[in-house]
C-alpha cells in the first residue's frame, strides 16, 4: 500500500475487520491509557500537550533549511490558498507544498470548529470526551509541525486562513451531528489523512532528491504526524458497529474523490485511484514496525 515505507513482517487484520461492542469499549480504555503515556499532560489553554510541545521545541532548537530556495517562492504564496496559476506550470516542490497547505487548512478549520464545542478536561466525565480533547490537541500540534515543514523551505509567513463561507459552515455544523451519523465520515476522514501522509512520504525521495538534509527533516516531521494519525484511525474505528463499518467502507471512494477534486495538485503528485484502493484495503502490515511501536493499534486488528 505505502510507496515509501517498508511493511513489517507481522500481519494484521483489515481496519474494516468486525469487532464486538465489548471489544470496542475495551479499546477506548486502552487508547486512553496510550494517550496519557504518549502525550503527557494536557495544556488546554494552549491547545497543546506537554510531550508535543517538547517535541516541537526540539525541532525548533535545531532547525534545518533547504540549501536551494524554491524556484519562485512567490508562486507558493500566490497559489497556496487557491490555485491561480496553471498547476502544470509549477515545479513539483511548490506543488507538494501548496498541496500540503490546502490539506492542512481543511484540517485546521475542522478541528477549530470542533474545539469550539469542547469543555475543560476537569469537566469531561467520560473517557471518550477526554480522548476527544487529547485528539484535537494532537491535531493542533500537527498544524505546528506542518509550519515547520514550510519553514524548512524558507516559507516563514504561512498562516491558515478560513475556508469559504459555505465550507466553513459545513465544518461548524458537522460536530453537531449525532454520533451514529458522525462516526463513519469522521473515521474515513482520519483514514484519508493517513493515506495522504503515506503517499507524501512515498514521493519525497523523488521530489526532494537534491535536498537530502531537508528531505530527511520533512520525513521526520511527517512521521511524527503519521504516528498520531495511525492511532487516530484505530481510535475512530472504535465508534463503528457493524452497520457503521459498512457505511464507512462505501464512503471511502466518494469522500476521497470529492475532497481531492478541490485540490488540483493531487492528480499531478499522486495516483488517486491507488489512494482510494489503499484506503479501502488498509491494514497495519503496510506500516513500518518502528512506527507501529510508537503508535497504537486496536486489539481486534491484530492477528
Cell 500540503 belongs to residue: 100
- Taking the C-alpha atoms of residue 295 and residue 24, their distance in angstroms, rounded to an integer, is 18
SS3 call for 121: helix
Most confident of 31-40, 123-132, 161-170: 31-40
pTM as predicted: 0.91
* Residue 34 scores a pLDDT above 80: yes
- Three-point CA angle 291, 296, 297, nearest 5°: 105
- Residue 125 has a pLDDT of 76
Cα–Cα–Cα angle for 295, 14, 298, rounded to 5 degrees: 35
Euclidean distance between the first and the last CA atom of the chain, given in angstroms as a whole number:
19
Please choose, from the candidates 233, 25, 280, the residue with its C-alpha nearest in 3D space to the C-alpha of residue 138: 233
203 within 8 A of 4, measured Cβ to Cβ: yes
In which residue are the cell numbers 503527557 written? 40
- For residue range 171-228, what is the model confidence (pLDDT) as tens digits? 666 566 667 788 999 999 999 999 999 999 999 999 999 999 999 999 999 999 999 9
Of the CA atoms within 13 Å of residue 217, those in its CB half-sphere come to 23
Local confidence band at 76 (pLDDT 50, 70, 90 cut-offs): very high
Query: Which residue, 135, 240, 245, is CA-closest to 193?
Result: 135
- The domain ranges of the chain are 21-301
Q: Output the nine-digit C-alpha cell for 59.
A: 525541532
Low-confidence winner among 30-39, 87-96, 161-170, 275-284 (lowest mean pLDDT): 161-170
**Separation of alpha carbons 146 and 156, rounded Å:** 11
Q: What pLDDT, in 10s, does the model give residues 116-161? A: 888 777 676 799 999 999 999 999 999 999 999 999 999 999 999 8
Amino acid at each position: 500500500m505505502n510507496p515509501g515505507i517498508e511493511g513489517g513482517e507481522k500481519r494484521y487484520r483489515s481496519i474494516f475487520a468486525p469487532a464486538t461492542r465489548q471489544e470496542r469499549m475495551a479499546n477506548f480504555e486502552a487508547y486512553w491509557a496510550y494517550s496519557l503515556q504518549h502525550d503527557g499532560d494536557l495544556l488546554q489553554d494552549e491547545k497543546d500537550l506537554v510531550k508535543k510541545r517538547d517535541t516541537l521545541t526540539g525541532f525548533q532548537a535545531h532547525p534545518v533549511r533547504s540549501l536551494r530556495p524554491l524556484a519562485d517562492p512567490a508562486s507558493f504564496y500566490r497559489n497556496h490558498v487557491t490555485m491561480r496559476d496553471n498547476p502544470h506550470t509549477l515545479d513539483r516542490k511548490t506543488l507538494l507544498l501548496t498541496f500540503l497547505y490546502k490539506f492542512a487548512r481543511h484540517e485546521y478549520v475542522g478541528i477549530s470548529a470542533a474545539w469550539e464545542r469542547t469543555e475543560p478536561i476537569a469537566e469531561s466525565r467520560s473517557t471518550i470526551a477526554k480522548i476527544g480533547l487529547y485528539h484535537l490537541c494532537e491535531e493542533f500540534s500537527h498544524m505546528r509541525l506542518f509550519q515547520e515543514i514550510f519553514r524548512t523551505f524558507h516559507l516563514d509567513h504561512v498562516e491558515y486562513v478560513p475556508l469559504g463561507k459555505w465550507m466553513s459552515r459545513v465544518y461548524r455544523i458537522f460536530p453537531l451531528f449525532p454520533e451514529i451519523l458522525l462516526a463513519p465520515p469522521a473515521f474515513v476522514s482520519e483514514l484519508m489523512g493517513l493515506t495522504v501522509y503515506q503517499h507524501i512520504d512515498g514521493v519525497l525521495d523523488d521530489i526532494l532528491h537534491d535536498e537530502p538534509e531537508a528531505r530527511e527533516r520533512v520525513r521526520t516531521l511527517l512521521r511524527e504526524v503519521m504516528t498520531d494519525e495511525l492511532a487516530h484511525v484505530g481510535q475512530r474505528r472504535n465508534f463503528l458497529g457493524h452497520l457503521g463499518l459498512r457505511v464507512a467502507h462505501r464512503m471511502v471512494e466518494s469522500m476521497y474523490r470529492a475532497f481531492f477534486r478541490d485540490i488540483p495538485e493531487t492528480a499531478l503528485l499522486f495516483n488517486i485511484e491507488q489512494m482510494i484502493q489503499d484506503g479501502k484495503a488498509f491494514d497495519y502490515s503496510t506500516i513500518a514496525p518502528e512506527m507501529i511501536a510508537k503508535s497504537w493499534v486496536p486489539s481486534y486488528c491484530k492477528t
